[in-house]
Amino acid sequence: MQASSALVSSDDLYLFNTGQLFRAYLTFGAHAMEAAGQRGVRFVLWAPNAREAFVVGDFCDWSSFDRSRAIALERIGTTGVWAGFGRGLDEGCRYKYELVDARGERRLKSDPFGFRSELRPNTASVVTSLSRYEWRDGDWMERKKRSAPYDKPMLIYEAHLGSWRMDAPEPFRGYGQLARELVDYVRDMGYTHIEVLPLAEHPLDRSWGYQTTGYYAATSRYGPPEGLMELVDCAHRSGIGVLLDWVGGHFCKDEHGLRLFDGTPLYEPADYRRAEKPLWGTLAFDFGKPQVQSFLISNALFWLDAYHIDGLRVDAVASMIDLNFDKPDSMRTANRYGGSEDIEALAFLRKLNETVFLYYPESLMMAEDSSSYPAVTSPTYLGGLGFNYKWNMGWMNDMLRYMETDPARRPACHSLVTFSMHYAYSENYILPLSHDEVVHGKRSLLNKMPGSYEEKFSNLRLFYGYWMTHPGKKLLFMGGEFGQFDEWKDAAGLDWDLLRYPLHDSMRRYVRDLNRIYLERSALWENDHRASGFEWIDVNNAAQSVLSFLRVDKQGERSVVAACNFSRQSYPVYRLGVSRPGTYRLLLNSDREDYGGAGTPIPDCVHAADVPMHGKAYSIEIPMPALAVLLWAADNEGPDAG
């Protein structure tokens, strides 16, 4: 066997052990290559507390006892790293690491850096190259480098690949089929991005990917790695970005995974109070350990490098930065200052974002954070965490609570709708209507709405209209666009048959038209993160549950007037203050009959009168249908975006 020290550079070992090897996957794991004139596979493993380490697989009947067939790895000095070369092995070889711990116990582990895993329930790693796919998305990759996201439209369609469409429980639709069907659908609906629930390998379907074992292996449920590349490539060539839900906060306890990897708490903290995540039955990463930093930061870059992913939604940030998140009193700990903030996790997140933006400054790094921790989207040099977007969980909770309230009682909780504007510019926000809100007994968005069957649809159209015009980028979970009535069923496909019913098909067409209006009107997204992009017209009309406001573009030249009636009472004559004279053209009426509404007649155009109202010099007189949203623009303001 070639000397292990010759298989790994001393620079890589140093950088890995100091938390600075940011593409560790190029060194660690299994790589088919030629060494000393022979073809084979190089294996590199971090297991500092193992007494012995072997690679086993089909080639040795999965046992290290036959030393002539198993591959014995050699320890490289005191680095904690093992390496070896399997002569004659090649791609497609199934393997695991067999580690002998300090007590002499043997454990079989999948490769933490493995690029492919067997189809569950099997758990072996598979030697795989990721360099064969011929990418055709060069135009997209260059174009996105020249375009910052802040003043661009962002409509994210969140999808779980296994249950978007499902003809039967098994097999799932493959990556290649989804590259055609899902991408075509998303493009037709007008979304700018697809965000997929975690795709790193995971043993349990029902975890949705949030309990990971193979951080570098795209799940084999939907096919080989090249299939995922095809899906991303197809999306890019259709002008659609792809975002990945990334779980860097915790990992599952399955025996073949990271838990007690070399017989000791290696990836997790040694103190069980800090390691355990009782809410999910998982283990936290030890963010202060340099090698764990190399592992995780390399993984974030890996998805952007190997799969051309456009950004990561970092899951469960609140659970990472709070040592005592959802823990009983018996497990509470404190940092060195006596507080509950996880100082090491905060430092890791800053380092993660700094590194990602160093290599991919055009990326999206989005924090799913339900905490009130400040400056999540501020630069690290100003003391922030360095993300460029944060999910606005406060807005989501307030609005769902408000929309679930019967319209007769909405005047008493009017502030739930208006409160978000007090902090709308404290972070760069995404307004999420995600999978978390339509599972575990929470009901679908449509079924959250109060009232009769028809009123549920009216309320949801109204809600979507308000959501689309509120400052912040948008995210909607699959099925919400056509009014999925049942909760999301992760073991079955969406209820596409509902589109045979007029109200559901009308809802889908309404959402598509709403998306189109959003994309065409720069006032609805260009100035999302500046107070100059929003102005209340009438914020105080709680008695009638009517809200009106103005969205304005960056130059202050183009605007959209939004009027939302959250009550069951229609108002045949409603006067609305406007800033400019002239004619105002109707952009959207959610009460249209072909959207499933009552069809209240609304004029296509209205003329501003010299009648002061709502502190404005002019006003327009419009009908205001019940449970409806109307959007208007000055007649000389045609579509301004493509």
pLDDT tens digit sequence for 381-422:
999 999 999 999 999 999 999 999 999 999 999 999 999 999
315 belongs to the catalytic site: yes
- Which residue among 98, 230, 276, 315 is the active-site one? 315
* Spatial CB neighbours of 131, under 8 Å, sequence gap ≥ 6: none
Q: Specify which residues 243 forms β-bridges with.
A: 195, 311
Number of CB atoms found within 10 A of residue 339's CB: 11
36 confidence band (pLDDT: 50, 70, 90): confident
Q: What mean pLDDT is predicted for residues 490-498?
A: 94
Q: What mean pLDDT is predicted for residues 302-318?
A: 98
- Domains annotated for the chain, with CATH where assigned, are 4-126 (2.60.40.10), 531-634 (2.60.40.1180)
Side-chain half-sphere CA neighbours of 60 within 13 A: 22
69 confidence band (pLDDT: 50, 70, 90): confident
Say which range, 66-70, 137-141, 593-597, 630-634, has the weakest mean pLDDT.
Answer: 66-70
Residue % of the chain over a pLDDT of 70: 98
DSSP conformational letter for 197:
P
Number of CB atoms found within 10 A of residue 254's CB: 16
- Which residue among 195, 262, 268, 368 is the active-site one? 368
Q: What mean pLDDT is predicted for residues 120-147?
A: 96
Q: Is 267 exposed, middle or buried (0-12, 13-18, 19+ CB in 10 A)?
A: buried
pLDDT tens profile 179-233: 999 999 999 999 999 999 999 999 999 999 999 999 999 999 999 999 999 999 9
637 belongs to the catalytic site: no
Q: Among all chains, which residue has been given the structure tokens 């190997």?
A: 306
How confident is the model at residue 164, as a pLDDT?
96
pLDDT tens profile 328-387: 999 999 999 999 999 999 999 999 999 999 999 999 999 999 999 999 999 999 999 999
Q: Is 511 helix (H, G, I), strand (E, B) or coil?
A: helix
Type of residue numbered 363? S
Query: Rounded CA gap, 253 and 259, in Å?
Result: 6
Q: Is 469 exposed, middle or buried (0-12, 13-18, 19+ CB in 10 A)?
A: buried
Query: Which regions of 111-211 does DSSP assign to beta strands (E)?
Result: 125-126, 155-159, 193-196, 200-201
pLDDT tens profile 76-87: 999 999 999 999
Q: Cα dihedral angle (599, 601, 604, 609), rounded to 10 degrees?
A: -140
Q: What mean pLDDT is predicted for residues 12-23?
A: 98
Taking Cα atoms as reference points, which of 2, 117, 101 lies closest to residue 52? Answer: 101
Cβ(27)–Cβ(300) under 8 Å?
no
Q: Is 613 left (phi over 0), alpha (psi -120 to 50) or beta?
A: beta
Return the structure tokens found at 204.
């349990």
Query: Rounded CA gap, 589 and 632, in Å?
Result: 9
- Does residue 640 register a pLDDT over 80? no
Query: Rounded CA gap, 626 and 642, in Å?
Result: 32
Side-chain half-sphere CA neighbours of 549 within 13 A: 24
How confident is the model at residue 642, as a pLDDT?
42
Cβ(317)–Cβ(369) under 8 Å?
yes
Residue % of the chain over a pLDDT of 90: 93
Residue 138 phi/psi, 5-degree rounding, is -60, -40
Taking Cα atoms as reference points, which of 602, 620, 618 lies closest to residue 610? Answer: 618
Taking Cα atoms as reference points, which of 600, 596, 629 lies closest to residue 499? Answer: 596
Stated pTM of the model: 0.96
* Spatial CB neighbours of 37, under 8 Å, sequence gap ≥ 6: none
DSSP conformational letter for 426:
S
Return the structure tokens found at 477.
């979970």
148 confidence band (pLDDT: 50, 70, 90): confident
How confident is the model at residue 2, as a pLDDT?
59
- Does residue 639 register a pLDDT over 70? no
Q: Specify which residues 41 forms β-bridges with.
A: 32, 86
- Does residue 478 register a pLDDT over 60? yes
Residue 55 phi/psi, 5-degree rounding, is -105, 125
Number of residues in the chain: 642
Q: Specify which residues 421 forms β-bridges with.
A: none
CA gyration radius, the chain:
27
Taking Cα atoms as reference points, which of 468, 470, 497, 471 lies closest to residue 483? Answer: 497
